[in-house]
């Protein structure tokens, strides 16, 4: 409760006032640094590296509270704090954590993760970005020495791919193919300024999440030192699966935040707006929108937090339920936002009441971090394997 109260107060004082302004395709770097000052950027990272050492439930709380005001900023926060910081905190070496996490946790660096490609999104194992041993490299594995790797390819739809629109973010965990087998994938830390690493296409005309910068990252013979290999060569699939679980819970929490804010807005509006001599909250059509939204939000909230309470960030095994959480909350959040726009009518269709922005932001949850169709496939696969419900 103390964490939620702290984040909620921060949201009211700092996040909410800027949300509409920064919805014009601009990342709020100053607000990002304030998150660092509060210990939020490294919420699940080790304390000795600048993190707060908290658990998955804490991460879900932060994402719900931020998203209730500014889902787009929260999306950038997720890409940094979960896809980079948490991923490296759980899977990186002590030397890598000591080198990269302090700046990431303070907000001095803005980071992200590169998985999706122009030709492979949901089909992660279809990625074509490659990393081959550089001339002079002395061997494989996570040891030091040698010439490292040469990285070629591109990553698309990368949150925090750019911050200012002119250059890449500061550092990224990039997945690349290091062998011929479909699962021969490795993770590399790629840093801004490495020769051959550049900003590609900037995604500027987005339906929603406009305060979160999205871009293509291009790798042309990028020389990555061996010490930037995370874990063992060819061993990235396990760390990928682990991090997808917390990512999908956090994305579910974003949908919870959107739904909660929309319910609050339409409930208050319905008591103030008068039609035919009565507040519209007295009409059954409006009551249905509000009541069903609240019930669905509470169901999604209970499911999300129950799974978060049992998620071990150091391992994996909750894929069935993290997929199901995101499957349910993504559509729930979008539907609640749609009902809020309907209750507000014309006022919901313009920016003053926030609902229009939340409505646009909500749709991404059905696409990003795993499409609804990918969740369907994963859930049925896992249930088929279990044969009985857990």
| Nearest residue to 237 via CA among 127, 158, 96 | 127
Beta-strand runs (E) in 45-133: 111-114, 130-133
| Nearest residue to 348 via CA among 244, 278, 265 | 265
| Nearest residue to 357 via CA among 29, 70, 78, 63 | 70
Global pTM exceeds 0.85: yes
In this prediction, residue 337 has a pLDDT band, given cuts at 50, 70 and 90, of: very high
Residue 247 dihedral angles phi and psi, to the nearest 5°: -60, -45
Evaluate whether 137 touches 229 at the Cβ level (below 8 Å): no
| Nearest residue to 58 via CA among 243, 300, 309 | 309
Given the residues 65, 117, 233, 247, select the one marked as catalytic. Answer: 247
Residue 210 dihedral angles phi and psi, to the nearest 5°: -75, -20
Residues 6+ apart with CB under 8 A from 178: 130, 131, 132, 149, 184, 185, 186, 233, 234
Helix (H) or strand (E) holding 73: helix 71-80
The residue whose two tokens read 């009211």 is 12
Lowest mean per-residue pLDDT among 50-59, 132-141, 157-166, 357-366: 132-141
Pairing of strands 278-279, 274-275: antiparallel
What single DSSP character describes residue 345?
G
26, 32, 348 from 211: Cα distances, Å = 5, 12, 20
Q: Greatest CA separation found in the chain? A: 82
3-state helix, strand, coil in the chain (%, to 5): 55, 15, 30
Residue 37 annotated to the active site: no
How far is the C-alpha of 354 from the C-alpha of 193, rounded, in Å? 38
Evaluate whether 300 touches 332 at the Cβ level (below 8 Å): yes
For the stretch 347-380, pLDDT in tens is: 999 988 899 999 999 999 999 999 999 999 999 9
Q: Is the pLDDT confidence value at 24 over 80?
A: no
Evaluate whether 370 touches 331 at the Cβ level (below 8 Å): no
Structure confidence at residue 143 (pLDDT)? 36
How far is the C-alpha of 347 from the C-alpha of 260, rounded, in Å? 19
Structure confidence at residue 388 (pLDDT)? 73
- Sorted by where each starts, the structural domains of the chain and their CATH numbers stand as 2-106 (1.10.540.10), 111-234 (2.40.110.10), 237-386 (1.20.140.10)
For the stretch 40-63, pLDDT in tens is: 999 999 999 999 999 999 999 999
What does the mean pLDDT of the chain come to? 94
Structure confidence at residue 196 (pLDDT)? 97
């Amino acid at each position: 409760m103390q964490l939620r109260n702290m984040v909620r107060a921060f949201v009211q004082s700092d996040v909410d006032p800027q949300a509409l302004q920064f919805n014009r395709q601009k990342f709020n770097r100053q607000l990002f640094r304030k998150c660092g000052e509060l210990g939020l950027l490294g919420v699940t990272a080790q304390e000795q590296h600048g993190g707060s050492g908290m658990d998955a439930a804490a991460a879900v709380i932060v994402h719900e509270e931020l998203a209730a005001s500014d889902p787009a900023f929260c999306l950038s926060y997720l890409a940094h704090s979960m896809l980079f910081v948490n991923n490296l905190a759980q899977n990186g070496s002590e030397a890598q954590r000591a080198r990269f996490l302090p700046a990431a946790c303070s907000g001095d660096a803005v980071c992200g993760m590169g998985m999706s490609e122009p030709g492979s999104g949901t089909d992660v194992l279809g990625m074509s970005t490659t990393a081959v041993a550089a001339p002079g490299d002395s061997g494989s594995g996570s040891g030091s020495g040698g010439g490292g790797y040469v990285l070629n390819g591109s990553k698309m739809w990368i949150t925090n791919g750019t911050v200012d629109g002119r250059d890449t973010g500061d550092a990224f965990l990039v997945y690349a193919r290091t062998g011929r087998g479909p699962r021969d994938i490795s993770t590399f830390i790629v840093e801004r300024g490495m020769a051959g690493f550049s900003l590609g296409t900037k995604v500027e005309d987005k339906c929603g999440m406009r305060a979160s910068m999205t871009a293509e990252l291009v790798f042309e013979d990028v020389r990555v030192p061996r010490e930037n290999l995370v874990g063992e060569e060819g061993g990235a699939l396990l760390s990928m699966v682990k991090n997808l679980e917390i990512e999908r819970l956090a994305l579910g929490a974003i949908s919870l935040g959107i739904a909660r804010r929309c319910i609050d807005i339409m409930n208050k509006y319905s008591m103030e707006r008068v039609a035919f001599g009565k507040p519209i909250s007295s009409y059954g059509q409006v009551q249905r929108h509000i009541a069903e939204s609240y019930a669905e939000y509470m169901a999604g909230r209970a499911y999300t937090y129950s799974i978060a309470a049992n998620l071990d960030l150091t391992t994996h095994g909750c894929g069935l339920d993290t997929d199901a959480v995101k499957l349910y909350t993504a559509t729930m959040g979008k539907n609640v936002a749609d009902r809020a726009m309907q209750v507000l009518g014309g006022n919901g269709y313009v920016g003053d009441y926030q609902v229009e922005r939340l409505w646009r932001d909500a749709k991404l949850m059905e696409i990003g971090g795993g499409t609804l169709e990918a969740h369907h496939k994963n859930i049925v696969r896992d249930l088929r394997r279990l044969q009985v419900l857990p």
